[in-house]
Structure 1
Amino acid sequence: MRTAKDGTGLQSTLGVLGPVARHTVQDQVYGELRRSLIQGLFDAGEVLRIRDLAQRMSISTMPVREALARLISEKALEPLPNRSVRVPLIRRETLEDLARARALIEGRLTEMALPRLGAEDRDALWRDTDAYDNLTGGRIETAHEAADLNHAFHFRIYRAAGSAVLIPIVESLWMQSGPYIRKAAELFDHGSDAPATNHHHRLLEAIEAGDVAAGRAALVADIDRAFDLLRRRHTFDREAA
C-alpha cells in the first residue's frame, strides 16, 4: 500500500483511516450520562449497573458499557469488582482538590470573559438569574431546571473567554463535582443560608461595572459556597475521608 509523504518526508498512515458515523448510540449514551453527572443528578456512591441503564434507555448493553468506560477514564465514575460502576464517594481530599482546580481555571476564564461580554450576554445572564430566583417548590423537575439555569449562566461566561482548550477541562471538573454539588444542595438551609444566586448577583454587578477583579472574586465565592457547606455539615466516613 502506498502512503503519502508529509512535509518532513515521513510516510503518512492517514490513508488507512476510513469514514465513521458522525453520531453513534454510544455517543448519545455518553452525552446523556455526562449531562446528568454535570448537573448533579446522581447521588455520591450511587451504583450504576450496565443492564439497568440499557433497559432504561431501551438499547443494548454494549454502548452503555463503552460510555461508562469513557466516564471512568475521565474520573467521573469508579469501577466496582462486580462489573458495575458507581458515582464516586464524597472524599475530603478530592473536595479540596476540586475546589482549588475550579477556582483557578474558572476564575481565569471569568477574567478573560468579562471584557468580551456584550449587552446580549448580560441580558441573558440576568434572565437566567431571575428565572432561577423565581423557581419554587422542591419537585425534582425544579431541581433539574435549576441545574440547567446554573449551567447556562456559568458556561455563557466561560465560552465568552474564547478558550477552546479550557472549556473541556471545566466540563470535566463539573462532571467530577456533580455529586458534591448535589449533596451540598441537600444540606442547604433555606432559613439561614444565603440564596443560591447571591454570588451570581455580585458577579453580574461586577460585569456591569467592568470590574474584572470583583467578577473573579464573586465567581470563586460562588464555587466555594457549595464546597464550604460540605466542609461544615457533611460527615465524612472512613472510606470517603
Structure 2
Amino acid sequence: MNIQANTGMDESGLNRLSPVGRETVQDRIYRQLRDALIQGRFDAGEIFLAGDVAQRMSVSSMPVREALARLVSERALEAMANRRVRVPLLSLERARDIAQARTLIEGELAARAIDNLSGAEIDRLEVLTEDYDQAREAEDITLLNHAFHFHLYEAAGSSVFMPIVESLWMQAGPYVRAAAKLHSPLTDKAATLHHRGILEAIRAGDKTRVSNELTADISQVFAILEKADPEFWKTQSGAGL
C-alpha cells in the first residue's frame, strides 16, 4: 500500500459519512464505516457513540450498534465501557503483526491470482496503475490503491482469504493515516513502482516475484512507522484517553 496525501487528514472521518436508505440499513452502515476505516479516515483512539453515528447517518441506533458490534468482532474497532466503541490505539508491536499478516496472506493471494487473470483483467490493473500515477488527491489515491489490490486478490477466487484481507485492511487503516502524517507522499512514478513490478511479474508468470513485489509495496507504510521517533509512539499509545 502506498502512502496517501495529507490533504484533508485532519478532518474527522465521521464528518464524511452520509445518510443511508431504509433498505439493508445495517449492511450499508457497516460498509460505510468499513470503507472509511480502510481508507484511513479515522485516527487511532477516535470514539464512536451509536447515537452520534445514527444521527449523522439519519438512521436509528439499533442498526448502528449492530454494525459497530460487527466491526468489533473483526477487530477493526474495540468495545469500551458505557457502550462506547473506539478505533484501537497504535502500537509498534501491532503494526508489525499487521504487516506480517498482510504480506503472508496477500502474497499468497497474489501468487494464486496469476493463473486466473485474463488479458482484460491484467489490462484493468494497468489502467488502475496509470490512473494512480496521475492522481493527486488523497481520496483518489486511496481508492485506486484499494482497487488495484482487490482486483488482483479477487482473481485468486478464495472466499476464505478475502474476508481476512478486508479485516486486515481495516486494522491497517489508522496506521496508514498515521504514516501519511509522518511522511510527504511520493508524487512521481516511484509511487507505483511496486505495482508495476507486480504487473511485470504477472506477465512473466513469476509467482515468487509477485509475492516479493507485493511485500515491498505493503512494507512502505510500516517502514515509515518503524523509523518514527519513540516520542511518537508514546503520544499514540495515549490517544483518545
TM bin, normalised by shorter chain, reads: 0.7 to 0.9
Deviation at 1:238? Answer: 7.4
Residue in 2 that maps onto 1:130 = 130
Contact between 2:44 and 2:236, CA under 8 Å: does it hold in 1? no
Distance change (3 Å), C-alpha of 1:191 and 1:104: closer
Q: Does 1:205 align with 2:184?
A: no
Q: CA deviation at 1:195?
A: 3.6
Of residues 149, 169, 178, the one that matches 1:174 is 169
Cα contact 1:26–1:66 (8 A) shared by 2: yes
Matched-pair contact (CA < 8 Å) for 1:75–1:176: yes
Equivalent residue number for residue 63 of structure 1: 63
Q: C-alpha separation between the residues in 1 aligned to 2:80 and 2:50?
A: 12
Residue of structure 1 equivalent to 2:110: 110
RMSD: 2.1
Return the alpha-carbon distance in structure 1 between the equivalents of residues 134 and 97 of structure 2: 33
Q: Which residues of structure 1 form unaligned runs of 5+?
A: 1-22, 137-141
Maintained 8 Å contact 1:111/1:215 = yes
SS in 2 for 1:233: coil
Relative to structure 1, the CA distance from residue 41 to residue 192 in structure 2 (aligned partners, 3 Å threshold; closer, same or farther) is: closer
| Partner residue of 1:233 out of 215, 228, 232 | 228
Query: Which of structures 1 and 2 has the bigger CA Rg?
Result: 1
| SS of equivalent to 2:237 | coil
Please tell me the residue identity of whatever aligns with 1:156: H
Secondary structure of 2:59's counterpart equals coil
Counterpart of 1:93?
93
* Distance of aligned partners of 1:191 and 1:161 in 2 relative to their CA distance in 1, 3 Å threshold: closer
* Percent of aligned positions that are identical: 51
Per-residue CA shift, 1:159-189, capped at 9, x if unaligned? 1111111111111111111111121222223
1:147 partnered with 2:149: no
> How many correspondences in the alignment?
214
Letter in 1 for 2:155: A
TM-score w.r.t. the length of structure 1 is 0.82
**CA separation of 1:201/1:27 partners in 2, compared to 1, >3 Å: closer, same or farther?**
same
Maintained 8 Å contact 2:42/2:174: yes
Which residue pairs with 1:13 in the alignment? Answer: none
Name the residue aligned to 2:218: 223
Separation of aligned partners in 1, 2:52 and 2:128: 35
Give 1:82 deviation, angstroms: 3.3
The code of the aligned residue for 1:115 comes to D
Contact 1:202 1:215 in 2 (8 A): yes
**Which amino acid is the alignment partner of residue 85 of structure 2?**
V
Letter in 2 for 1:236: W
- Cα distance in 2, alignment partners of residues 98 and 117 from structure 1: 27
If asked which structure has higher relative contact order (CA below 8 Å, sep 6+), I would say 2
Distance of 1:158 and 1:81 partners within structure 2: 37
Quote the Cα distance in structure 1 between the aligned partners of 2:92 and 2:60. Answer: 37
TM-score for the superposition, normalised by structure 2: 0.82
CA–CA separation in structure 1 for the residues paired with 2:30 and 2:144: 21
